[in-house]
Amino acid sequence: MLKFKSINSIPTKFSESFLFFSFSDEKEVIKTFSEVEELLEINVPGRIKKSISKNNESQNLFYLDDGSLVLLQKCDKKEKLNSDTFRRSSASAIKKIISLKLKDVIVSIPKLDADSIHKNFTSLPAESRPCQEQAGSEYFLQSILEGLSLGSYKYTTYLSKNERTVPGISIFYPALKAAEINKIILLTNKITKHVFLARDLQNTPGSDLYPEALASKVKSLGKRNPKIKVRVLGFDEIRKRKMGGLEAVGKGSERKPRFIIMEYFGMDKKKSPYVIVGKGITFDSGGISIKPAADMWEMKGDMSGAATTIAVLLTAAELKLKVNLIGLVPAAENMPSGSSMRPGDIIRTASGKSIEIDNTDAEGRLILADALEYAVRYKPKVVIDLATLTGACVVALGQFASGLFTHEDELARNLVRASNLTGERTWRLPLWEDYHNLIKSDFADVKNVGGKWGGAITAACFLEKFVDKKYKWAHLDIAGPAFAEENISYTSKTMTGYGVRLLIQFLMDEIKDH
């Protein structure tokens, strides 16, 4: 991870490199050049020794005659600025800085009027718009630090040589005092550290991260914070508790399933907790209904919901959030064998409901059914599940947003508001009764797939049948944003850890509101 420190002034004699932010129109670039001259007490045009890039590119890069390098990173136009604008532009900048193998960089962040930043959220519906307090100077800095940090991530565990140079970053931000900057640096580091953990878990090959290994990893992580309690149910216990969905999915593999329970109590245990449920398919071959070979390697990340759940629990504990939080991770490997579940099988879950198996590749909803039933024992305030559940959701929303399903309007608004602030976007989709009709079975209480259309919605409707009406519930289908390609600079070419920042922001907002 990047190491940040705050500085009170720009040194006039220096050997470091510099990163400055500008805006996209030419007048603003010229203005920023004059600000660079003023800050560095030099005449920039007169001292440029070598220019690396032209002014019409997103990055202006030039060396001064003393050998120091200045990078001018363009952002969007002022009227389009929001927290994610800076997150993305700073991620692009850090990728360039790392490619140049720079060791020390001073990042100068311009003063921005918090009112003007907040106005750029006004295009959003009022109920899902971040408030002024959320979108002020502090979060503006946090979003830049997040972009720098997240953009620097690379999964290197299996490289025999890792020659990447990760620079030290000094932050010059005159809008805030040093103590305030250091507080935001500490908060950002704690959050991004756990986003990296989620990404590492997602990127680990299924041969090394199978259900038992994941459970052992969580136990080890839990020991680092005395506020976290971890319990793991083995295969015999899963059978004893009649978790038929988890058993059916995992029984085809030599590596049997586990049910992981994480508990964090940041306040009186009598207070109803929030429960986060994460789909933990450590590798998904599709089972008997086997997937096409192309891109099947990505299915090591079919436990992305689990990775996010684990990271959120650990983040909440490290931040000492005043909230009670439970994490439930049903973990299984979906493999074809003589003992695998078959299309046409009928299984019974811990809730007592029976399920007709029409397609063994619709397995995530089966393990979530048992976890959603298990959540009832905590008498939760809210239950949120995350799952890379359907390709249909990616068809509907692409890789830029998760699908949000809930009957609770206030819960939906709060999740969408947090998503608009963090850039981990979500979009609400319906749970109409019409879709429930598509998963009716002639032989069981419900069928595990619907018809040809609306697959993300019928999957959510399936989950709803295992939700207790006593608690508020939301389902996030994260199949799109969990697997990024080249769409967003701070998540490109890697698993993303989607949902960690979103849910931590949601929980912090919930604490403030209550």
Q: pTM for the whole thing?
A: 0.92
Q: Which of 374, 398, 341, 354 is nearest to 468 (CA)?
A: 374
Query: What's the CA gap between 500 and 369, in Å, rounded?
Result: 22
Cα–Cα distances in Å, from 259 out to 327, 355, 477?
11, 20, 21
Single out the catalytic residue among 129, 256, 258, 365: 365
| Span of 9-18, 37-46, 57-66 with lowest mean pLDDT | 37-46
What is the average pLDDT value for the chain, to the nearest integer? 88
Q: What are the residues facing 387 on neighbouring strands? A: 477
Q: In what order do the strands lie in the sheet with 446-447?
A: 346-348, 354-356, 446-447
Report the SS3 class of residue 108: strand
Q: What is the pLDDT of residues 63-121, one digit of tens each?
A: 666 667 778 787 766 666 777 888 998 999 899 889 888 888 888 887 766 565 555 55
**What is the rounded average pLDDT of the residues 494-512?**
95
Residue 211 contacts residue 306 (beta carbons within 8 Å): no
Instruction: Tell me the percentage of the chain whose pLDDT exceeds 70.
Output: 83
Q: What is the pLDDT of residues 220-278, one digit of tens each?
A: 999 999 999 999 999 999 999 999 999 999 999 999 999 999 999 999 999 999 999 99
Query: What's the CA gap between 364 and 143, in Å, rounded?
Result: 33
E strand map for 161-219: 168-172
Query: What's the CA gap between 340 and 336, in Å, rounded?
Result: 6
Residue 508 pLDDT: 96
Query: What's the CA gap between 494 and 407, in Å, rounded?
Result: 33
Residue 263 contacts residue 229 (beta carbons within 8 Å): yes
Query: From the CA atom positions of the chain, what is the Rg in Å?
Result: 24
Query: What's the CA gap between 432 and 339, in Å, rounded?
Result: 36
Tokens of 159: 């490289």
Concerning whether 291 is annotated as a catalytic residue, the answer is yes
Single out the catalytic residue among 183, 291, 428, 465: 291
Count CB atoms within 10 A of the CB of residue 390. Answer: 24
Residue 107, φ and ψ in degrees, nearest 5: -105, 115
Q: Which amino acid type is present at position 90?
A: S
Residue 51 has pLDDT above 80, yes or no: no
Total length of the chain:
514
Concerning whether 78 is annotated as a catalytic residue, the answer is no
Residue 501 has pLDDT above 70, yes or no: yes
Q: What is the pLDDT of residues 363-407, one digit of tens each?
A: 999 999 999 999 999 999 999 999 999 999 999 999 999 999 999
Q: What is the pLDDT of residues 164-222, one digit of tens each?
A: 888 999 998 888 899 999 999 999 999 999 999 999 999 999 999 999 999 999 999 99
Domains of the chain in start order, with CATH, are: 3-175 (3.40.220.10), 198-513 (3.40.630.10)
